[in-house]
């Protein structure tokens, strides 16, 4: 029997040809998706680098100040498209520059768009953020021509990445700036300190944080450049070997008319040329202004009205249980000196058995700042600033003494005090104290901010 041979070879070739088209398309799709995934990661890296660089620049230049859109180096923008050749004049330009350095510009098939503002207007693209003193959002995108997958009709694709960084309240509220001494933070005897926020000790000493007696210290965390030696209770376990932290308020400006380079020779002493002494059985109402020779509350009540008090030599102090200090609103004390005429710097001294209750302003240039020391004072012997004030002591605000040791025994309860921040060269705790970190009463949040990605 004879069998007919049919031309099956031609049919197989046709079937294989038809099968190759989707196979090549699928291979092309995988290739293109892989390339777009690579671009997506590159775009995200560029966005992250851009926002962190911008916010870090602002934090470095004007940290410790209240942020406004017209400050030098601070810029607020909405849907701003980066130029092809950005400069480094302000935070937004720096964000553009870092995006470019990471391969993305607003030109051709690429787009870099920036939104930036102060905390009064929260990031539109970061709905989980409740507050930020200053924030920057960068959106990076690129249209990508498709190669192999164009066979399937996909001629272009688009990748996009977005990142937001901002200045948020710092996790720490107690800072000891001394870079080398033993006992930069020291707790005396059987004292008990409770803090809702962290403690940062810049000293590289093996006993940077230490105590005597059977002290108890409980904070949210501890960052220590060196190490610690503790007798008593210390919770949680400290983080040692931390990087050194710069003065978090180093750019907070001195109040007018005092010089940023130190001293207040231009102070007008005509209203209070000599030390003001409160020594009555009633209440002395004191007003903001310049006090040459300082203020001494011997007997009676000193009631401070809202505002800024410049203490040119003499500081401020109390005597005993007859000394009562109050503020009728937010106050800031700037403790300084003059060289012509000579009015030497004098430390703050609130005696342990006096009654002191003070609170800082809630807004303005010195929102959250209760005491500020002239950074250029005190060459030679380190001053000791005493913040004790007895069992009713209440210090709501920031105690900023970058050249002094603070001896602290305040805020025995937190029933009224929302927050207390201490930034000092050294810190010596002499009594039971409590530190809270409720900054909701401050319009701009905590005066100490830290940089972080928030989206």
Domain boundary among 131, 154, 169: 169
Asked whether residue 35 falls in the same domain as residue 159, the answer is yes
Best CA proximity match to 436, nearest among 413, 404, 405: 413
Asked whether residue 165 falls in the same domain as residue 252, the answer is no
Predicted confidence at residue 2, as pLDDT, reads 53
Domain boundary among 169, 187, 213: 169
Angle between helices 91-101 and 8-62 (to 10 degrees): 150
Query: Does 225 map to a domain?
Result: no
Nearest-angstrom CA–CA distance, 335 and 291 = 10
Domain boundary among 169, 202, 228: 169
Predicted confidence at residue 79, as pLDDT, reads 92
- pLDDT over 70 percentage in the chain: 86
What is the domain extent for residue 33? Answer: 9-169
Query: Does 219 map to a domain?
Result: no
- Distance set, CA 214 to CA 24, 185, 187, 227, 382 (Å): 76, 15, 9, 19, 27
Q: Could you tell me where the beta strands, DSSP code E, fall in 202-319?
A: 209-211, 215-218, 222-224, 228-229, 232-235, 239-240, 276-286, 289-292, 295-304, 307-312, 316-318
Asked whether residue 164 falls in the same domain as residue 308, the answer is no
Best CA proximity match to 357, nearest among 307, 323, 319: 323
Query: Does 23 map to a domain?
Result: yes
Cβ 77 vs Cβ 116: under 8 Å: yes
Best CA proximity match to 305, nearest among 321, 320, 285, 291: 285
Asked whether residue 256 falls in the same domain as residue 135, the answer is no
CB within 8 A of 172, min separation 6: which ones? 197, 198, 199, 200, 221, 223, 448
Predicted confidence at residue 9, as pLDDT, reads 56
Please give the structure tokens belonging to residue 363.
């807004």
Predicted confidence at residue 130, as pLDDT, reads 59
Give the residues of the chain that fall short of pLDDT 50: none
Query: Does 65 map to a domain?
Result: yes
Tell if the pTM clears 0.85, that is, is over it. no
Asked whether residue 142 falls in the same domain as residue 288, the answer is no
Query: Does 451 map to a domain?
Result: no
Asked whether residue 253 falls in the same domain as residue 356, the answer is yes
Query: Does 187 map to a domain?
Result: no
Predicted confidence at residue 67, as pLDDT, reads 74
Predicted confidence at residue 120, as pLDDT, reads 65
Query: Does 266 map to a domain?
Result: yes
Structurally, the chain folds into a number of domains equal to 2
Query: Does 183 map to a domain?
Result: no
């Amino acid at each position: 029997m004879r069998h007919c041979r049919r031309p099956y070879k031609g049919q197989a070739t046709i079937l294989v040809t038809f099968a190759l088209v989707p196979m090549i398309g699928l291979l092309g799709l995988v290739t293109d998706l892989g390339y777009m995934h690579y671009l997506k990661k590159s775009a995200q890296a560029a966005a992250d680098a851009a926002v962190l660089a911008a916010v870090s620049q602002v934090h470095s230049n004007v940290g410790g100040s209240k942020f406004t859109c017209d400050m030098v180096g601070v810029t607020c923008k909405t849907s701003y498209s980066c130029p092809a050749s950005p400069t480094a004049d302000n935070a937004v330009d720096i964000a553009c520059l870092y995006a470019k350095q990471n391969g993305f510009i607003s030109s051709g098939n690429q787009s870099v768009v920036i939104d930036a503002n102060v905390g009064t207007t929260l990031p539109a693209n970061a709905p989980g953020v409740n507050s930020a003193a200053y924030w920057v959002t960068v959106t990076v995108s690129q249209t990508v021509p498709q190669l192999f997958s164009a066979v399937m009709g996909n001629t272009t694709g688009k990748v996009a990445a977005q990142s937001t960084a901002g200045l948020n309240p710092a996790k720490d509220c107690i800072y000891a700036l001394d870079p080398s001494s033993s006992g930069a933070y020291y707790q005396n005897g059987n004292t008990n300190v409770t803090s809702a926020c962290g403690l940062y000790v810049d000293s590289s000493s093996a006993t940077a944080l230490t105590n005597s007696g059977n002290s108890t210290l409980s904070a949210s965390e501890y960052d220590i450049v060196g190490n610690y030696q503790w007798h008593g209770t210390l919770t949680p376990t400290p983080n040692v070997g931390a990087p050194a932290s710069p003065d978090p308020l180093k750019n907070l400006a001195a109040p007018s008319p005092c010089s940023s380079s130190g001293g207040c020779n231009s102070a007008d002493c005509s209203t209070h040329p000599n030390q003001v002494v409160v020594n009555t059985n009633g209440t002395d109402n004191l007003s903001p202004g310049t006090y040459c020779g300082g203020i001494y509350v011997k007997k009676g009540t000193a009631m401070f009205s809202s505002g800024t008090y410049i203490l040119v030599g003499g500081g401020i102090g109390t005597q005993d249980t007859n000394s009562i200090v109050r503020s009728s609103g937010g106050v800031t004390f700037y403790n300084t000196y003059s060289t012509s005429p000579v009015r030497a710097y004098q430390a703050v001294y609130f005696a342990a058995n006096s009654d002191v209750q003070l609170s800082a302003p809630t807004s303005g240039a010195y929102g959250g700042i209760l005491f500020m020391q002239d950074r250029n004072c005190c060459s030679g012997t380190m001053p000791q600033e005493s913040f004790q004030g007895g069992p009713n002591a209440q210090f709501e605000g920031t105690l900023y003494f970058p050249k002094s040791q603070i001896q602290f025994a305040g805020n025995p309860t937190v029933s009224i005090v929302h927050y207390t921040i201490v930034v000092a060269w050294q810190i010596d705790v002499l009594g039971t104290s409590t530190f809270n970190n409720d900054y909701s009463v401050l319009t701009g949040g905590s005066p100490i901010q830290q940089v972080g990605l928030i989206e």
